[in-house]
Amino acid sequence: MLKLVKARLLQLVFVLFLLSLLTFTLMKLAPGDPVLRILEVDELAVTQADEAALRKELGFDRPLLVQYGEWMLNVLQLDFGNSYIKEKPVLDEMIARLPTTIQLTVGGLAVMVLIAVPLGLLAAKYPGRWPDHLSRFLALLGASIPSFWMGLLLIYVFAFKLQWLPTMGKGSAQHMILPSVTLGFAMAAVYARLLRAGLLESLSQEYIRAARARGIAEWRILWRHALRAALLPVVTVFGMSIGSLLAGTVVIETLFSWPGLGSMAVEAIFQRDYPVIQGYVLLTGVFVVVVNLLVDLSYGLLDPRIRYGKGELS
Amino acid sequence: MNVNVSTVFRQSPIRRNTWRSMLRDPMTALGTGILAIIILLTLIGPFIVPNDSLAVKMSERLQSPSWQYPLGTDHLGRCIFSRLVAGAKTTLGISAFVIISVTLIGIPVGLLSGYVGGRVDALLMRLVDGVGALPEFILAIAISGFLGPSLTNLMLSIVLVKWIGYARVVRSIVLSEREKEYVLAARVAGCSTWTVLWRHLLPQIISPVVVLAALDIGKIILIISALSYLGLGAQPSAPEWGAMLNDGRPYFQTVPELMIYPGVAIMLVVVSCNLISDGLRHILDVRSR
């Protein structure tokens, strides 16, 4: 186990190095000269000497490797510079927007659980019958419908036509419904199928037969005994797909003008606000990579049957 | 010499009856049918569309369907049907390009890594693990954020991430196949590394790669249209389905058709790709039989 943790931590360091290198390289390749940009803001007559002086002051005349090292030192201290537009530290802006994104994610997950668990249980209880077909149909729909388009349809029906819910923005609890449903539906479709597969597999196990022989009610067996074993692959896949969950928030936050991290990143791209893009890419990148690592390591904790033993490395 | 060995042991992975079994399953047949019609429309599109997909006619904006405009016109008086057909070319063309690129990178890397092994394998796999750990949407945001939003940059970021899966799958198959008798026989018979890879191992990896690719195409189409909708892919005025949705957004409330058609088009293509991939997985993947 310790050996595994060590190997994975080494890999983590390598991945984070790759991420930082990629961000730094892309930033250097970005069109537009930051020196000229800063000078233009001052709106004074710019001479070659001014330009060279500022270039020297900012350290842009030094070798790239030195610049990378210095940049890395700042990043390690969570200093991502100031936003070009708001002229405030990027980190502050991100921290201010983080709760909003978490709120949307929790809403989406709640919708996901509310759809996926009953549907998965029903599909496993009646395989080959209508709940199973319904879950299969929803899975196909969920995998094929563009989430932003579903969001648009929901806005059209529930906000324009029926006028039950607000169109966009953040505020009351009602504002949360449409974005959460849009985010949760696509996930629910996947997890309902996953849960069904896991349940069917655990239902064929010996201990389920033993529980049936003891005369325990079928629903209780499904809920208490089978579900627990079936949740492991679900949790694993969930951890692995945290990246696509964040991708979903980018699309849905922009669609519903939800002021979270995702819409911040998209706005920054259009405003060419490079420090903000950099902060978003680095912090979410680190987050996803670390979560994936934790999920990888948590297999053993969740299921004692596959706890990593003696020198085993996979 | 190697001709004998390869004719005896070579198995053709996609058999002639693959097509027949695909058409026997109703859902797979449905998917294949829809996709075939869309591809046909794309190919003959330029000859049958009534209007230029880019021609702006402000005098004929937001018209309802007519003989001249089968699905009506958008907010700039452009023919929606013509734009949908042109959009199919963009979407299918890009996803085909992405899939071909990722297989062309992933298969050689996987073959080399699995067959040569040793230090080459260790090095390549470090790279695969490293790049594979980066989520593709973060890469997409980084690339379009720093280099500017465009369809080319979007394609670049998808290719950069997607080849990983192919390299991994190919490597794992090569690792298990290379110890088998037919490969040993081929090597004893004096086949070069190249011949072993090309004539003996490549046929083994075709079906898993096809299954993976069929699954990926749907996802790629969804990513491209979603990012184009956000304005990070195809730019407005380009006939791309996601960009069309972005373009017509202010008019959805009054003319919902502007939003319905491109969305349905995306969904039809992705549904048929997913149906085909389900069917293929069933037919080609021995484990699921």
- Ordered DSSP codes for A5-28: HHHHHHHHHHHHHHHHHHHHHHHH
What are the helix (H) ranges across chain B? 2-9, 17-24, 26-48, 80-116, 118-132, 136-147, 151-177, 181-188, 193-195, 202-230, 241-247, 257-284
CATH number of B85-284: 1.10.3720.10
Mutate to test the interface with B, among A144, A157, A255, A283 (most CBs of B within 10 A): A144
- Does residue B125 belong to the interface with chain A, where contact is any CB pair within 8 Å? no
CA-closest candidate to residue A22, choices A308, A277, A196: A277
Mutate one of B25, B34, B138 to test the A interface: name it (highest A CB count within 10 A): B138
The pTM score is 0.82
pLDDT number for residue A310: 43
The tokens describing B115, both together, are 């067959």
Q: Are B230 and B151 in contact (CB under 8 A)?
A: no
DSSP state letters, B211-270: HHHHHHHHHHHHHHHHHHHHTSSSPTTS--HHHHHHHTGGGTTT-THHHHHHHHHHHHHH
Are the beta carbons of B145 and A281 separated by less than 8 Å?
A: yes
Rounded to an integer, what distance in angstroms lies between the CA atom of residue A237 and that of residue A245? 12
Domain ranges, residue A153: 95-305
Pick from A14, A251, A281: CB nearest B130: A14
What is the rounded distance in angstroms from the CA atom of residue A51 to the CA atom of residue A47? Answer: 6
Cα B203 off chain centre by: 21
Name residues whose C-beta falls within 8 Å of residue A271's C-beta, 6 or more positions apart in sequence.
Answer: A84, A85
Quick one: A283 exposed, middle or buried, by C-beta within 10 A (0-12, 13-18, 19+)?
A: buried
> Chain B closest CA to A80's CA: distance in Å?
15
Check: CB of residue B113 under 8 Å from CB of residue B121: yes
Q: b/e for B220-230, b at 16 or more Cβ within 10 A?
A: bbbbbbbbbbb
Domain count for chain A: 1
Residue A150 lies inside a defined structural domain of this protein: yes
Q: Which residue type is seen at A138?
A: L
Regions of chain A short of the pLDDT cut 70: 1, 32-46, 58-59, 171, 299-314
- Chain A residue with the nearest C-alpha to that of B130: A15
From chain B, pick out residues whose CB is under 8 angstroms from the CB of A254: 230
Instruction: For residue B222, list chain A residues with Cβ-Cβ distance below 8 A.
Output: 144, 146
Read off the CATH number of the domain in which A283 is found.
1.10.3720.10
Q: CA-to-CA distance for A206 and B191, rounded, in angstroms? A: 51
Q: How close B151 comes to chain A (CA, Å)?
A: 15
Across the interface, whether the CB atoms of A247 and B225 are under 8 A apart is answered no
> Are the beta carbons of B186 and B3 closer than 8 angstroms?
no
Decide if A250 and B137 are in contact by the 8 Å CB cutoff: yes
Contact B253 A160 (CB under 8 A): yes
Separation CA A43–CA A46 (nearest Å)? 8
Closest-CA residue to B88 (of B278, B275, B268, B277): B268
A52 in a structural domain: no
> pLDDT (tens digit, 0 to 9) for every residue of chain B, 289 residues total?
344 443 434 444 555 566 677 777 788 888 888 888 888 888 887 777 777 766 676 676 666 777 776 777 777 777 778 888 888 888 888 889 999 999 999 999 998 888 888 888 888 888 888 787 777 778 888 888 888 888 888 888 889 888 888 998 899 888 888 888 888 888 888 888 888 888 888 888 888 888 888 888 888 898 888 888 888 887 777 788 888 888 877 777 777 878 888 888 899 999 998 888 888 877 776 544 4
Does B141 sit within 8 Å of A269, measured CB to CB? yes
Distance CA B16, CA B22 (A): 11
pLDDT at B98: 92
Chain B residues in contact with A153 by the CB 8 A cut-off are 259, 263
Closest Cα of chain A to B35: distance in Å? 14
Instruction: Report phi then psi at B45, rounded to 5.
Output: -45, -55
Cβ of A266 and B230 within 8 Å?
yes
Q: Are A12 and A293 in contact (CB under 8 A)?
A: yes
Contact B210, B14 (CB under 8 A): yes
Q: Per the domain annotation, does A238 fall within a domain?
A: yes
- Radius of gyration over every alpha carbon of chain A, rounded to an integer in angstroms: 25
Give the DSSP letter of residue B189: T
The region, left, alpha or beta by phi > 0 then psi within -120 to 50, assigned to residue B240 is beta
- Compute the distance between CA of residue A243 and CA of residue B138 in angstroms, rounded to an integer: 8
Q: Look at residue A282 in the predicted model and tell me its pLDDT.
A: 86
State the Rg of chain B over Cα: 23
Residue B146 and residue A143: Cβ atoms within 8 Å? Answer: no
**Contact (CB<8Å) A144/B135:** no
What tokens appear for A296 in the block? 């990888």
Testing the interface with A: which of B146, B160, B227, B244 to mutate, by most A Cβ within 10 A? Answer: B146
Q: How far is CA B35 from CA A253, B31, B88, B92, B96, in A?
A: 32, 6, 11, 10, 13
Question: B215 near B162, Cβ under 8 Å?
Answer: no
Q: Do A277 and B147 touch (CB under 8 A)?
A: no
Contact A274 B146 (CB under 8 A): yes
Residue A295 · residue A239 · CB < 8 Å: yes
What gap in Å lies between CA A82 and CA A92, rounded to an integer?
A: 9
Residues of chain B in contact with residue A285, where contact means CB-CB under 8 angstroms, are 134-135, 138
Contacts of B138 in chain A (CB under 8 A): 243, 246, 281, 284-285, 288
Neighbour count for residue A70 (Cβ, 10 Å): 12
Which DSSP letter does residue A67 get? H
Q: What are phi and psi of B268, to 5 degrees?
A: -60, -45
Q: Choose from B27, B38, B137 for mutation: most chain A CBs within 10 A.
A: B137
Q: Tell me the two tokens of residue B172.
A: 């794992």
User: Which tens digit of pLDDT belongs to each residue from A49-61?
Assistant: 777 777 777 667 7
Domains of chain B: which residue ranges? Answer: 85-284
Is the residue at A245 inside a domain? Answer: yes
Cα A182–A188–A194 angle (5° rounding)?
A: 155
Residues in chain A: 314
For residue A218, is it within any domain?
A: yes
CB A119 within 8 A of CB A142: no
Between chain A and chain B, the number of residue pairs with CB atoms below 8 A apart is: 131
In a domain, A47, yes or no: no
Q: Which of B146, B230, B242 sits opposite A254 (nearest CB)?
A: B230
Q: Name the minimum distance, in Å, from the CA of B145 to any CA of chain A.
A: 5
